[in-house]
Structure 1
Amino acid sequence: MQNEPFFQRDGIYYVPQSSSRGPWNPQSLHGRVIAGLLGHALEDAFGDPGFVPARLTVDMYKLPGFDPIEIKTALVREGGRIKVAEAEFISGGVSMARASCQFLRITEAPAGEVYGPGNWDVPLPEDIPAPDPGTGPMGRMWATRPIQGGFGQPGKVRQVWMSEVREIVGGAPLTPFQRVAIACDFVSPFAHASSEGLSYINSDVTLYLQRLPVGEWIGFEKTDHQATLGVAVGECRLYDREGPIGLAACAALGQRRPPPKP
Structure 2
Amino acid sequence: MQNEPFFQRDGILYVPQPIARGPWNPQSLHGRVIAGLLGHALEEAFGEPDFVPARLTVDMFKLPGFDPIEVRTALVRQGGRIKVAEAEFISGGVSMAKASCQFLRRTEAPEGRVYGPGNWDVPKPEDITPPDYGPMGRMWATRPIKGGFNDPNDVRQTWMAEVREIVGGMPLTPFQRVAVACDFVSPFAHVSDKGLGYINSDVTLYLHRLPVGEWIGFEKTDHQAAEGIAVGECRLYDEQGPIGFASCAALGQKRPPPPPPTKA
TM range (shorter): over 0.9
1:18–1:257 distance in 2 versus 1, CA, 3 Å: closer
Instruction: Look up the match of 1:80.
Output: 80
Alignment of 1:1-262 (within 5 A): 1-132=1-132, 134-135=133-134, 138-257=136-255
1:14 and 1:123 map into 2 onto residues whose CA distance is 38
Give how far 1:259 is off.
Answer: 6.8
Aligned residues: 258
Q: How many angstroms apart in 2 are the aligned matches of 1:205 and 1:71?
A: 18
- Give the % identical residues: 84
Query: Quick one: distance in 1 between partners of 2:252 and 2:11?
Result: 38
What secondary structure sits across from 1:140 in the alignment?
helix
Query: What is the distance in 1 between the residues matched to 2:228 and 2:150?
Result: 17
Letter of the 2:188 counterpart = F
Q: CA–CA distance in 2 between the matches of 1:156 and 1:182?
A: 24
Cα deviations by residue, 1:133-188 (Å, 9 ceiling, x for unpaired): x34x7131100000000113111210000000010000000000000000000000
Asked if 1 retains the 8 angstrom alpha-carbon contact of 2:7 and 2:17, the reply is yes
Counterpart CA distance in 1 for 2:42 and 2:61 is 19
Distance 1:164 1:185, change over 3 A: same
Distance 1:128 1:244 in 2: 20
- Does the CA contact (< 8 Å) of 2:25 and 2:256 recur in 1? no
Across the aligned residues of Structure 1 and Structure 2, the Cα RMSD in angstroms comes to 1.1
Separation of aligned partners in 1, 2:221 and 2:257: 24
Do 1:118 and 1:244's aligned partners in 2 also have CA atoms closer than 8 Å? Answer: yes
Deviations 1:42-101 (A, max 9, x none): 000000110000000000000000000000000000000000000000000000000000
Give the conservation status (yes or no) of the 8 Å contact 1:198–1:259.
no
Aligned counterparts of 1:259 and 1:182: Cα–Cα separation in 2: 27
8 Å CA contact retained: 1:199, 1:258 = no
1:96 aligned partner, one-letter code? M
Q: How far apart, CA to CA, are the structure 2 residues paired with 1:175 and 1:45?
A: 14
Alignment check: 8 A CA contact 2:189 2:233 kept: yes
The code of the aligned residue for 1:165 comes to V
Residue identity opposite 2:16 in structure 1: P
| CA–CA distance in structure 2, aligned partners of residues 185 and 18 of structure 1 | 19
Q: Distance in 1 between matches of 2:147 and 2:188?
A: 10
* Structure 1 residues 258 and 160: alpha-carbon distance in aligned structure 2, compared to 1, 3 A threshold: farther
Gaps of 5+ in 2: 259-264
The one-letter code of the counterpart of 1:44 is: E
1:214: how far off?
Answer: 0.1
